Each structure stands twice: as C-alpha cells, then as structure tokens.
C-alpha cells in the first residue's frame, strides 16, 4: 500500500501474461492442471504477506511440517509485509517470476490477475458444494469469484475497527462513542487526561484511505459508491464525498497530535502508541488486534476494546456496513507445480491449522468455518469477526477495489487533505481526472 508505484499492476500483469502465454510466434505455455494428483517432489515457491513478527513463524512452521511429511519437497517462502507486498508482487509479475502460490487482495487487484490469465481456475476444487469449498463460508469464496468461476483460496477475513484503551476512556470519564460527534467530542477530554486521542500515521498513504472508505460507505448511497469504483460508470460527484473528506479533516485536526505532520508518521508508530499506553485509540484491522496486546505491550487484552468508526447522523449511505474483505491466495495458472500447490493450500486450510492461525499470537481470523471461537481466539478478534459476519455488507479497501490510477489519486488526495494543500473539491477534481484517464 504505497503512494509510489514503480509499475501499475495492470501493466505488469499484462506484460507477464504475454510472456507466459507466448507472443510473436512463440510457443504457448500450457495451463496448469490443478486437478491432477500431486507429485511430492521439487520446489514450491510461495509469496506471503506474513513477513515480520509476530506473523512470520506461521508459514515457516507450516512449511517445515509439510516438508517433514514430504521429504522430497522444498518450500521457498518469500515473506513480505503489508507495506512491501505490492511492490514485490509487481516486481515478480513484471519479471515473469510469479511464485507457484501468491497473496492477493480482493477487488480490482485480484481481477487484474484473473483477467491476465495468471490465476488458476479452482472452480472444480473450491466452489461451494465441493469438499474443499465446504470448509469456507460462501461469502468468503465469492470474494474471489469472477464470471461464475472461483480462483482464490480465502485465508482469513478482515475488517476495520477503532481499537481503544478502556482505562484511557475511564480516566477521561468517557463512554464509548456511538456517533461521529461523540467521537470528535471525546478527543478533548482524552487529551486532558494525558493521552493522544487517536494515534495516526499516514507516511505510507493507505491509512488515510481506510478512514475515507469507511466514511464514504456512511455518506454515499451504496449503489452510487459501487458504480464509482468502475471507471466506466464512475462519476465521483456525490456530495457525500465532500462531506466525508471534511469529516476526515476534522478528525485529523481535532483528534491527532501530529495533525498536518501525520503524513510523516509510520502507521507502525501509531500502532505502537496504542500498544505502549500513550494513545487512547488507533484505527486498525482485525489482523492487528493481537499485535497491539502482544507480550511486552502496556495495553493488555483486558484493557483493549473495539468499536466501529461511528457513522455521522443523517448520512445518506449504509451505517451498518464495514470496510474490509477476505484476503487470500492464488495459484499461478502456469505453474508446473500447480497440483502440489493445491495440496499445500489444502494443508494450510485444514481446521487444525486454521485454528492456530486464528489464535494468539497470530490473530488472523481464518475463513475456515468454526476456526474462530471464543475459546480459540482473543476476545477482540472474536468480537471483530462476529461484527464482520453480521455487517450489512463488506466494502473492499479503496486502494484495491479501484483501478490503480484512481487509487493513486485518492492516495495523493488523502495526503493533501492532511497537509492542507488541497480542498475536498480539488481532491475530487483530481480523482475525476484520473478516472477519465483510466477509461
């Protein structure tokens, strides 16, 4: 999730697809047979989004266990972080070096790989009603469904919530806010009590978009919002966008200590401020819940609570919707190890391994039915995934649901609102221009 894109993902996918498919009279590389019996030998390469602590050991342990069962198999892990995965994926795609198994978000990001012929069709194996597919909820599978075919292996669900310190709110004499005005009004008392009200770091650009997307969900009618994600039907003119940008500007200026300097603060610094007891709130994904209460944190699991970003009164959108989506993995459509890759991902999504994934210290709520329970997961992870499952709808992240050109315009726009270098209306003008260029 970076503001600098060395190569637009669609262009990288197109270039790689041409090379893999053969061009200028070259031989066409055969499509992978994902339904074949696996041959348990050779190297299997996997690009994950589990780089760094505390996530990195998860795939390392799975790889070691799988290699122990199959001594002639060698697993090569390429472990990236949430910050580095996009650039790494683009680099590997552009160089026609896509691993046998690779991470993907839902939305336009995933659709580029499907449309480019780089994601194997797994319908025979993982569609609803199949033995493997029945491990998952149908909504998780449908996040990677295109034209009736199923391409992705959903690994975990995700959603965005405000994490908070119960003791900070108690020190300020506050209840959890249930409206937008209450959230803004809570910031003064929290600051008076000695806390940064909301820790926020936007150096990487995408954290601002998470606020904006949830505010768009609240302020813009759902049908309009969904139409605006597609350049062919987008207008980006609804007044709810200006309202959302103004609300975001209000939050930055009244509730964060960095204010216009937020663009120079890492999101991990903001995360650490909540974990270290210096901040009262931090807007975060379910995937981060167990990180802020990990061993060594001042914030304990008993002190940590969550609530959805409150909706503004009278907003025209959907107040019951949550920003988020499943995240998962594709199998390279041209991989000679495709059948082995399928077998490994079946191993990864076995109920026992899914339960480990959902439990501390990982706290990644598995899409495997029954893996997230009050007994196996932390209280916050269980509450978060329950809220995701009960939401009226999930709306995918703004920087992956739209085409790269529009996502880039929103990245720049979020930074401009924070710095005060552009008005909401000027940001929307730049988004419309990017949308027109993307048609």
Same domain? For 152 and 167 the reply is no
CATH number for position 113: 3.40.190.10
Measured in residues, the chain has a length of 439
Specify the 3-state DSSP secondary structure of 3: coil
> What is the number of structural domains in the chain?
2
- Per-residue confidence (pLDDT) for residue 337, from 0 to 100: 97
pLDDT per residue over 251-303, tens digit each? Answer: 999 999 988 899 999 999 999 999 999 999 999 999 999 999 999 999 999 99
Residues 228 and 247 in one domain: yes
As averages over each run of 10 residues, the pLDDT of the chain (439 residues) reads 42 59 46 93 98 95 98 98 91 95 94 95 97 93 94 97 98 98 98 98 96 98 97 97 98 93 95 98 96 96 98 96 96 97 98 97 95 95 94 93 95 97 98 96
Strands of 385-429 (E only): list them.
394-395
Q: What is the pLDDT of residues 134-147, one digit of tens each?
A: 999 888 999 999 99
User: How many CB atoms sit inside 10 A of residue 92's CB?
Assistant: 18
Q: Which SS3 state, helix, strand or coil, does residue 312 take?
A: coil
Same domain, 56 and 122: yes
Tell me, yes or no, whether 4 lies in a domain.
no
What is the C-alpha to C-alpha distance for residues 198 and 210, in angstroms, rounded to an integer? 14
- Please give the residue range of the domain that contains residue 95: 9-158+324-371
Indicate whether this model's pTM tops 0.85: yes
**Is residue 347 helix, strand or coil?**
helix
User: Is residue 173 domain-shared with residue 142, that is, in the same domain?
Assistant: no
Q: Does 334 reside within a domain?
A: yes
Judge whether 386 lies within some domain: no
């Amino acid at each position: 999730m970076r503001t600098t894109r060395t190569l637009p993902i669609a262009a990288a996918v197109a270039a790689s697809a041409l090379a893999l498919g053969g061009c200028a009279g070259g031989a066409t590389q055969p499509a992978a047979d994902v339904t074949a019996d696996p041959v348990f030998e050779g190297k299997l390469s996997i690009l994950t989004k589990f780089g760094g602590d505390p996530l990195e050991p998860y795939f390392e342990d799975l790889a070691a266990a799988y290699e122990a069962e199959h001594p002639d198999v060698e697993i090569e892990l390429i472990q990236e972080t949430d910050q580095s995965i996009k650039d790494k994926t683009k680099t590997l795609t552009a160089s026609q070096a896509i691993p046998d198994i690779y991470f993907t978000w839902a939305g336009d990001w995933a659709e580029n790989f499907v449309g480019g012929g780089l994601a194997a069709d797994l319908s025979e194996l993982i569609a609803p009603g199949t033995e493997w597919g029945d491990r998952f909820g149908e909504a998780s599978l449908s996040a990677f469904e295109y034209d009736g075919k199923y391409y992705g292996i959903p690994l975990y669900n995700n959603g965005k919530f405000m994490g908070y310190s119960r003791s900070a709110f108690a020190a300020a004499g506050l209840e959890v806010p249930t409206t937008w005005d209450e959230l803004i009004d809570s910031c003064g008392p929290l600051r008076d009590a000695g806390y940064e009200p909301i820790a926020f770091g936007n150096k990487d650009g995408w954290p601002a978009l998470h606020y904006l997307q949830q505010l768009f969900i609240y302020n813009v009618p759902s049908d309009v919002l969904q139409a605006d994600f597609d350049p062919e039907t987008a207008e980006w003119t609804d007044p709810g966008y200006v309202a959302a940008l103004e609300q975001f500007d209000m939050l930055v200026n009244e509730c964060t200590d960095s204010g216009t300097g937020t663009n120079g603060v890492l999101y991990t610094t903001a995360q650490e401020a909540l974990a270290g007891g210096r901040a009262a709130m931090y807007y975060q994904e379910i995937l981060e819940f167990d990180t802020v209460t990990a061993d060594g944190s001042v914030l304990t699991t008993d002190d940590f609570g969550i609530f959805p970003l409150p909706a503004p009164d009278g907003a025209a959108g959907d107040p019951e919707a949550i920003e988020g989506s499943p995240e998962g993995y594709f199998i390279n459509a041209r991989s000679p190890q495709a059948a082995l890759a399928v077998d490994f991902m079946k191993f990864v999504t076995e109920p026992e391994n899914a339960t480990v994934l959902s439990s501390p210290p990982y706290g990644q709520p598995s899409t495997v039915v029954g893996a997230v329970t009050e007994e196996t997961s932390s209280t916050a992870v269980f509450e978060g995934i329950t809220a995701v499952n009960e939401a009226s709808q999930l709306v995918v992240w703004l920087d992956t649901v739209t085409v790269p050109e529009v996502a880039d315009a929103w990245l720049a726009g979020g930074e401009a609102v924070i710095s005060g270098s552009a008005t909401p209306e000027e940001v929307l003008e730049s988004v419309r221009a990017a949308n027109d260029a993307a048609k």
